[in-house]
Amino acid sequence: MNHDIADPSLAEAGALRIEWAEGRMPVLASIRERFEKESPLQGLRIAACLHVTSETANLMTTLRAGGAEAMLCASNPLSTQDDVAAALVADGIAVFAVRGEDNDSYYSHLREVLDADPQITMDDGADLVTMVLKERPDQRLVGSTEETTTGVIRLRAMEADGVIRFPVIAVNDSATKHLFDNRHGTGQSAMDGIIRSTNLLIAGKTVVVVGFGDCGAGVAARADGLGAKVVVVEVDAVRALSAAMEGYTVATADEAARIGDIFITLTGNLRVLRGEHFELMKDGVVLANAGHFDVELDLGYLADHSVGKRRIRHELDEWTMKDGRRIHVVAEGRLVNLGAAEGHPAEVMDMSFANQALAAEWLAKDGADLENKVLRLPDSIDQEVAAIALEAIGGGLEQLTPEQEEYLSSWEFGT
Ligand code: NAD
Ligand code: ADE
């Protein structure tokens, strides 16, 4: 455990932020209340590798309320909120994470939580599960859960290679996760990170969104709402067409590179903006990545082809190219919403983490009978989570009449 983060004043600040988030997480609160009565996770050790935020802290305390011993390491070296880590440590939850840690420390923290011999792991990006499968053939898990798109893609590749030896729940595949967290969470918090680090006016700027999946669609909508001219770069024709019909300009990366002021990558793919694009960009552009890994912007090219780099603002580096053009990179090309802002708001993490808590309960109850595959949570859980979240934001839910139910299940349409 990192005893150096057990600082009382930091812990107090973290506890207040955790409390603020807690008040905006009604679905998790209802699960916590039930967990306190039923103890469905009694006797289990759960190791989570998630962004260490005030929202994640509320998931950790919910797992503990269910009877688990919950421990946490970071899923990105730059996403740890040290005040939250300190508050959790003060509250008796083991945390292995420090903001800005180097790669060696990041991986040694993963090893430390696995050394505690957990029965369930929770990942955001599949790093823990990859370590178990690659390095620990004797480690027996009841199962594992996965939070993000890139993690699920990695897991499906492992499944295709036949190496998965316990059930893994793809929480990202639940509608109440990706339709809200990826879209509305990333949409708001990625723009928040760019604004906090640059304080640029978005209105009138050309904002290039690379990747128009759930995350990209969310960022495009928020940039549009702030008055930007939105340009979308996509490799999937259906998604590119969908962006065009939303009213955005759709262009190749080369075309977009020439006209963009701010670029945001959200593809989960490698070097989507690279040297050939950087060479076409205007002086003063801002580059940010919100995809899971820091591989979407080819920062190696900037290191090799620039004449200097300086930190010009909080989480903003200015690279000067040989021809004098300046290229700005937010949060070292790591997840901009967590590196330069506070991550998604609690209201969306509520649903994501409600799904995580229910996935842990499912594994605890039925893990031994589940197939050693990548699995989705049942649709009924989506309905349950959405209904509580809807009630919390004041929406009314219409009910089918018995006559309508019968009509929808019959062949006799239109009569
Ligand atoms: P997605 O699969 O729905 O969308 C990705 C899109 O990128 C696809 O439409 C794909 O066609 C496109 N793409 C791939 N390569 C491309 C290229 N070279 N150029 C242009 N487009 C390309 O995924 P998503 O759910 O939107 O997630 C995107 C990334 O964001 C993933 O890495 C995911 O793990 C991550 N994510 C981050 C956060 C966050 O908090 N920042 C939250 C959720 C997901
Ligand atoms: N991923 C994106 N935002 C997050 C948050 N606030 N907490 C945990 N994981 C996140």
* pLDDT digit string (tens) for the chain, length 415 residues: 554 556 789 999 999 999 999 999 999 999 999 999 999 999 999 999 999 999 999 999 999 999 999 999 999 999 999 999 999 999 999 999 999 999 999 999 999 999 999 999 999 999 999 999 999 999 989 999 999 999 999 999 999 999 999 999 999 999 999 999 999 999 999 999 999 999 999 999 999 999 999 999 999 999 999 999 999 999 999 999 999 999 999 999 999 999 999 999 999 999 999 999 999 999 999 999 999 999 999 999 999 999 999 999 999 999 999 999 999 999 999 999 999 999 999 999 999 999 999 999 999 999 999 999 999 999 999 999 999 999 999 999 999 999 999 999 998 888 6
Dihedral sign from CA coordinates of 289, 146, 38, 85? negative
Q: Is 266 in the pocket of ligand 1 (CB under 6 A)?
A: yes
Ligand nearest to the CA of 150: 1
Q: Which of the listed residues 28, 344, 351 should we mutate to test ligand 2's pocket, taking the one with most ligand atoms within 8 A of CB? A: 344
Q: Is 350 in the pocket of ligand 2 (CB under 6 A)?
A: no
In single-letter form, the type of residue at position 53 comes to T
Q: Which of the listed residues 17, 18, 50, 55 should we mutate to test ligand 2's pocket, taking the one with most ligand atoms within 8 A of CB? A: 55
C-alpha dist (Å) from residue 255 to 42, 232, 277, 338? 56, 11, 9, 29
Ligand 2 centre from 346 Cα, in Å? Answer: 8
Ligand nearest to the CA of 341: 2
Residue 166 is encoded by which pair of tokens?
């316990």
Ligand 1 centre from 149 Cα, in Å? Answer: 7
Give the number of the atom of ligand 1 that is nearest the alpha carbon of residue 178: 25
In single-letter form, the type of residue at position 266 comes to L
Q: Is 40 in the pocket of ligand 2 (CB under 6 A)?
A: no
User: Number of helices and strands (H, E) in the chain?
Assistant: 18, 15
Q: Which of the listed residues 182, 191, 294 should we mutate to test ligand 1's pocket, taking the one with most ligand atoms within 8 A of CB? A: 182
Q: Which domains does the chain have, with CATH numbers?
A: 8-177+344-392 (3.40.50.1480), 184-339 (3.40.50.720)
Which pTM value belongs to this model?
A: 0.96
Q: Is 51 in the pocket of ligand 2 (CB under 6 A)?
A: yes
Q: Which of the listed residues 266, 272, 356 should we mutate to test ligand 1's pocket, taking the one with most ligand atoms within 8 A of CB? A: 266
Angle at 178 between CA 176 and CA 182, to 5 degrees: 125
Q: Is 267 in the pocket of ligand 1 (CB under 6 A)?
A: yes
Q: Is 123 in the pocket of ligand 2 (CB under 6 A)?
A: no
Ligand 1 centre from 217 Cα, in Å? Answer: 10
List, in order, residues 6 or more apart from 319 with CB less than 8 Å away: 302, 306, 308, 309, 326, 327, 328, 329
Name which residue sits closest to atom 9 of ligand 2, judged by CA.
51
Q: Is 343 in the pocket of ligand 2 (CB under 6 A)?
A: yes
Name which residue sits closest to atom 40 of ligand 1, judged by CA.
186
Is residue 320 within 8 Å of residue 308, measured between CB atoms? yes
Angle at 19 between CA 13 and CA 21, to 5 degrees: 105
Angle at 393 between CA 389 and CA 395, to 5 degrees: 90
Q: Is 17 in the pocket of ligand 2 (CB under 6 A)?
A: no
Q: Is 349 in the pocket of ligand 1 (CB under 6 A)?
A: no
Radius of gyration of the chain (CA): 22
